[in-house]
Amino acid sequence: SSVVDLEYELFAPNGTSSTGGEKGPVVILHGLLGSKRNWQSISKAMSRELQRPIYPLDLRNHGSSPHVEPMTYTAMANDVLHFLRKHSLSNVSLIGHSMGGKVAMAAALSPELPRNAVSNLIVVDIAPSRAASLSQEFAGYFEGMQKVEEARVGTRQDAENILTEYEKDPMVRAFLMTNLVKPQNEPVKFKVPLRILGNSLGELADFPQDLGGRTWRDGQVVAIKGRRSKYVNKHNFPIMQDMFPGAVLEELDAGHWVHSEE
C-alpha cells in the first residue's frame, strides 16, 4: 500500500532550524478522531520551552490529510516514516496519544525505520496490545456521528443535540465536534471519512501481530498513563516492556484525554 503526504504544522522558535540541530525535532501523532489542531497550544508551549521545532501531524483519514485505505497501523507508520525522510528529520522525539501512540510504536518497531531516525518515544495512554473497550467506545461515537450526517441538520447546535444521545460528557462531544464542518448552503458534515474509520475499528483496537517479536532499543521510552484511564494496566504494560526494554511508566492525574486535561 502506498504512502501519503501528511499535512502538518511547524512550530519553531526563532533562530532554530527546521530539523532541530543537535536537539532534534519533536513529532506529535494525535489519537483517533483527533488532529494536529488538538495539539496546537501544547506544540506552541513546547517549542518555546524546549527551543526545538515541533511538528504536529494529521494522520491519514484525519484533519486535512488524504482520505485513503487501508487504515492500518503499518500504513500509518509508513506515512510517518515517509514524512521523516521527506523533511530530513532524524534524532526525532516521537510523541503519540492513543491511536497515535500505537502508530509511534509501530514506526519505531518497523523494519523500514531509517537509522537514527527516532531517539525518544513518548507513548500517551495506550499499550501495544488489543484494547477492545476502545473500539466499543468509539463505535458509539461513530454511530452518533453517522446519525448527525443522516439527519442533514443545519447548525452545530443541532448536531450537538443528536450527539448528546450517544455521549454524555461535554468534553468528549466538543472533541468529536472538532471534526464538524459547515459547507455553504449545505447541512453540517464531518470532515473525516466515517465509513473508512468506522470499518477499521477492529483493526485500530489491535496492534500489528508481525511486530510482536521485534524490539526497539535505540533510545528512551516513556509511557504516560492517565490515572483514571484503564488503557494502560498491569496486564499490558509488560507487553510494552518486552518490545521496548527499559520503558518507564509515568502517571498523570487525568483520564484518557491526558493532553486536554493536563
pLDDT tens figures, 190-200: 999 999 999 99
Give Cα 41 distance to the centre of its chain.
Answer: 16
- The question of whether 18 is a catalytic residue gets the answer no
- The question of whether 256 is a catalytic residue gets the answer yes
Q: Is residue 129 predicted with pLDDT exceeding 80? A: yes
Mean pLDDT across the chain: 94
Q: What is the pTM of this model?
A: 0.95
CA separation (Å) from 75 to 33, 48, 128, 176, 251?
A: 17, 32, 16, 24, 30
Q: In sequence order, which residues have a C-beta less than 8 Å from that of residue 181 and are 6 or more positions away?
A: 188, 189, 190, 191
Nearest CA to 107 among 74, 64, 65?
A: 74
CA separation (Å) from 63 to 43, 112, 120, 176, 185?
A: 16, 25, 25, 12, 22
To the nearest whole percent, how much of the chain has pLDDT over 70? 97
Place of cell 502506498: 2
Average pLDDT over residues 193-212: 95
- The domains found in the chain, sorted by start residue, are 26-129+207-261 (3.40.50.1820), 132-201 (no CATH)
Catalytic residue among 98, 135, 229, 260: 98
Nearest CA to 121 among 252, 215, 226, 247?
A: 247
Catalytic residue among 62, 97, 256, 259: 256
Residue 184, pLDDT score: 92
Q: How far is Cα 260 from Cα 199, in angstroms, rounded to an integer?
A: 27
Q: Select the more confidently predicted residue: 261 or 83.
A: 83
Nearest CA to 135 among 33, 249, 239, 242?
A: 33
Q: What is the pLDDT of residues 15-61, one digit of tens each?
A: 888 999 889 999 999 999 999 999 999 999 999 999 999 999 999 99
